Amino acid sequence: MLFNVSGPIVDTDRQTALRPSLWKYRYVLVFLSLLGILCFYQLAVVILLRKSINLSTSPFQGTNLVNPYQNWNGEGQEKISLHAHSDEVWFTPERHTVAEIQSEYKREGFSNIAITDYGQISETENPNYIRGLEWGQNLKKRHLLAIGIKKSFYDYFPVYATRENLNWVMDRMKKLGGYVIIPHPKLFDSFSREEMNSLGGFQAVEVYSPFGDDPKILDTLLSQGRNVHCMASDDLHYFPETSIKSFNQPFWKDMIQTLGNQRGRKGESFLRYIVTAEGVKDQNSVLSSLESGSFYCVKKFFSGAEDPKVPKIQVTKNHSIQLNSKERYLEIRFIGQKGEVLQIDPDTNHAEYVFKENDSYVRLEMIGLTGSILSNAIYRNN
- Direct distance between the N- and C-terminal alpha carbons of the chain, in angstroms, rounded to an integer: 105
Label residue 134 exposed, middle or buried (CB < 10 Å: 0-12, 13-18, 19+): buried
- The fold adopted by the segment(s) 70-299 is TIM Barrel (3.20.20)
* pLDDT 10s digits, 69-123: 999 988 889 999 999 999 999 999 999 999 999 999 999 999 999 999 999 998 8
Q: What per-residue confidence (pLDDT) applies to 176?
A: 96
Label residue 300 exposed, middle or buried (CB < 10 Å: 0-12, 13-18, 19+): buried
* pLDDT 10s digits, 299-310: 999 988 999 999
d(CA 179, CA 165): 18
* pLDDT 10s digits, 222-264: 999 999 999 999 999 999 888 898 999 999 999 999 888 888 7
d(CA 19, CA 24): 9
Q: Where are the beta strands (DSSP E) in the chain?
A: 64-66, 77-84, 112-115, 117-118, 132-135, 144-147, 179-182, 204-208, 229-232, 272-277, 296-300, 312-315, 320-335, 341-354, 361-367, 371-374, 378-381
Label residue 288 exposed, middle or buried (CB < 10 Å: 0-12, 13-18, 19+): middle
In sign, the C-alpha dihedral spanning 173, 176, 180, 186 is negative
pTM, entire model: 0.90
Q: What percent of the chain has pLDDT over 90?
A: 69
Return mean pLDDT, the chain. 90
Q: What DSSP letter does each residue of 142-157 carry, written as one string?
A: --EEEES-S-----S-
How far CA 258 is from CA of 246, 267, 363, 368, in Å, comes to 16, 15, 44, 37
pLDDT band at 24 (very low <50, low <70, confident <90, very high): low
Q: What per-residue confidence (pLDDT) applies to 358?
A: 95
If you average pLDDT over residues 46-50, what whole number do you get?
A: 87
- Which residues face 298 on adjacent strands? 273, 373
